[in-house]
Structure 1
Amino acid sequence: MLRIASSPEGGAFAIADTIIFVMKLDIVPKKHCMLPIARELRRNMTPQEAKLWYQFLRHYPVKVYKQRIIEAFIADFYCSKAMLVIEVDGVQHFSEQGQAYDLERSAVFAEYGIQVLRFSNTEVQLNFDAVCAEIDRSIQSRL
């Protein structure tokens, strides 16, 4: 008898003479046409995004992805285990249009149970340790 199961982690395991394949499910859909843009954003991070990535998130014990596609949006950083998006906002996010766009994005993310954590470029530059502590608290509380 062959049984197929699915799990967010993926993999395969056997019980007695039965092999069970566990397929990884991507519960958050993405528009694959956004991939070239996401790749470009990964290669050309802002100085603040690069600082947060290379000095903290890259080696964080829980996997965090940079420039992750969620539906038709690209999140700066995404921790799938904690269902947490981390955004580093530049000046364009503080305009009326930027705030409306961010509200729309946050609403879409919330439909999937994803929390959005926002920091300004200034916060990352001037209060880096506090930003990292807040990210750590948020991830740990959502695991």
Structure 2
Amino acid sequence: MDDSKQPTWKVSPSQRRHARELRKKSTDAERLMWGALRDKQLDGFSFKRQVPIGPFIADFACHAKKLVVELDGGQHYSDDAERADAGRTAAIEARGFRVIRFSNADVMSNRDGVLQSIATELAARALTPTLSRKRERERAERADKPRLTQTGSTQRSSSDDSD
């Protein structure tokens, strides 16, 4: 099975332990953000924290919208760390997630602005339900059938009127 096709929930016991340890040792910014994201407080969306995704552990993830929120401390702003973060982001996004990043300083000084940015991203990732092919065909057939009007005469769908 291709690595990018593996489900995100198949996690090794060691990675599960590591995620649990990270939850116990969260930073001030992570605790502040978790207080605002937990229990579906942000527009009713469920977030999890310290979520294993592939070989990485994301700070916060909303599986329903395939959104990952990463909080970066000062150590993330060196050239090497930025390259590593770019690779990490690419690997997580290859699994269908969208990754957005905020600095710890942003969270501590402008939590409401960060939450608004996350809410905007959630809204942008609104999933449009698609009809199955069978239901699409049934809908098209109904549109093509003549309909009986109140006077008893048949009438074609208004979308078919091309006189």
TM-score range with shorter-chain normalisation? 0.7 to 0.9
Structure-1 residue corresponding to 2:54 = 71
Give, in angstroms, the shift of residue 30 of structure 1.
4.7
1:129-140 matched pairs, under 5 angstroms: 129-140=112-123
Please point out which of 77, 92, 117 is paired with 1:109: 92
Superposed CA deviations along residues 70-119 of structure 1, whole A, max 9, x for unmatched, are 01100000001111100110011111221111111111112122111100
Q: What SS does the aligned partner of 2:26 have? A: coil
- 1:139 to 1:81, Cα distance in 2 relative to 1, 3 A: same
Instruction: Give the whole-Å Cα distance in 2 for the aligned partners of 1:27 and 1:123.
Output: 32
Structure-1 residue corresponding to 2:71 = 88
Please point out which of 29, 38, 45 is paired with 1:58: 38
Instruction: Give the whole-Å Cα distance in 2 for the aligned partners of 1:102 and 1:30.
Output: 23
Does the aligned pair in 2 maintain the 1:30–1:72 contact within 8 Å? no
Question: Residue type of the partner of 2:20?
Answer: R
Greater share of helix = 2
Give, in angstroms, the shift of residue 29 of structure 1.
5.4
Q: What SS does the aligned partner of 1:87 have? A: strand
Question: Residue type of the partner of 2:92?
Answer: F
Instruction: Give the whole-Å Cα distance in 1 for the aligned partners of 2:79 and 2:62.
Output: 28
2:40 is the alignment partner of 1:38: no
Q: What SS does the aligned partner of 1:82 have? A: coil
Aligned-residue CA RMSD in angstroms?
1.4
Give the TM-score taking structure 2 as reference length.
Answer: 0.68
Give the TM-score taking structure 1 as reference length.
Answer: 0.77
Instruction: Give the whole-Å Cα distance in 1 for the aligned partners of 2:18 and 2:66.
Output: 22
- Give the 4+ runs in structure 1 shifted more than 4 A: none
30-39 or 81-90: bigger deviation: 30-39
Instruction: Give the whole-Å Cα distance in 2 for the aligned partners of 1:29 and 1:98.
Output: 27
- Please, which runs of 5 or more residues in structure 2 have no aligned partner? 1-5, 127-163
Q: Tell me how many residue pairs correspond in the alignment.
A: 117
Q: What SS does the aligned partner of 1:106 have? A: helix
Matched-pair identity in %: 36
Q: What SS does the aligned partner of 2:84 have? A: helix
